Chains A and B, each alone.
Chain A
Amino acid sequence: MSRERLALGFGLLGIALLGWGSYLGLFVAPPDRYMGDVQRIMYVHVPTAWLALVVFTLAFIYAVLFLVHRSWRWDALHEASLEIGVLFTGLLCIQGALWGKPTWGVYWAWDPRLTTVAVMLLSFTGILSLRHFLDDPLRRASWSAATTILASANVPVVYYSVRWWNSLHQLQSTPKTVNSSMVEPLRINAFGLLFLTIALIMARSWIAESRRRKAMAPPLAKESS
């Protein structure tokens, strides 16, 4: 099977699962006892949060692998993870704001979880911008890998912020604390977004790899007249 077909398969499977999970979350799962129907935002918000953290963890791993092995494949995957992680974190902030307004009364609060997520979004957006400003592929890859390793220190802080500090944001739920009818759409959407993410990372890394190859290709010889 070609890699294009594999990515397309992952993408289509992801989209199908996201459609099914969202249908269950919107129309089948019961409303929350306190938050009512607004809680249905959880079925897209929580998988987006999980995948944003997973993708930035991958970016950290690819950054380390590039610095150790100096293989361009890791740099392409690093660039792909950065872009998709920033996309998911941006979405996460919007979904969270839309959930915060009817439940907290405000779109945004400088609470530990929201603040650490904002820092994560800004730091990785900065690294993506850095990659756009640097023309030399080796310098671009090395500098962005080093800054990704630094920025990744905040990723576990985002996850544990609700436990370490007194946060307005709720603690992580577990299948023991959530009704089973709510767990099913959550899991389906999480797997759907996971498969879609695999497809997106594959496709975005091909673009990064192709651009790097073109940038490093030797100039064409001048035609002799």
Chain B
Amino acid sequence: MSGMIQGGWEFVWAAYGITFTTLSLYCFSLWMRLRADKNEP
């Protein structure tokens, strides 16, 4: 027993995946809102 937590990559991938997906979706929503705003009279 080394005392080190073994495995856990699924938590790492979930954290990175959720972070980058959320940031991408937010960037996309800003882009859509800016575009809609420009098209509005």
Contacts and interface: CB of A to CB of B under 8 A. Distances in A.
A49 B31 CA distance: 25
Interface string B10-21: 011011101110
B19 A200 contact: no
A11 B31 CA distance: 12
Contact of B23 (A40, A196, A214): A196
B16 A38 contact: no
Interface majority SS on A: helix, strand, loop or mixed? helix
A27 B34 CA distance: 36
A38 B14 contact: no
Interface in B1-41: 3-9, 11-12, 14-16, 18-20, 22-23, 26-27, 30-31, 33-34, 37, 40
Nearest to B24: A15
B4 A35 contact: yes
A103 B26 contact: no
B36 to A, nearest CB: 9
Nearest to A102: B8
Contacts of B26: 87, 200
A98 B11 contact: yes
20 contacts: A11-B27, A26-B12, A36-B8, A37-B7, A37-B9, A38-B11, A41-B15, A87-B26, A90-B22, A94-B18, A98-B14, A98-B15, A98-B18, A102-B5, A102-B8, A203-B30, A206-B37, A207-B34, A207-B37, A211-B37
Given A94-B18, A206-B37, A207-B33, 9 more contacts: A18-B20, A37-B9, A38-B12, A41-B15, A87-B26, A91-B23, A98-B11, A99-B11, A206-B34
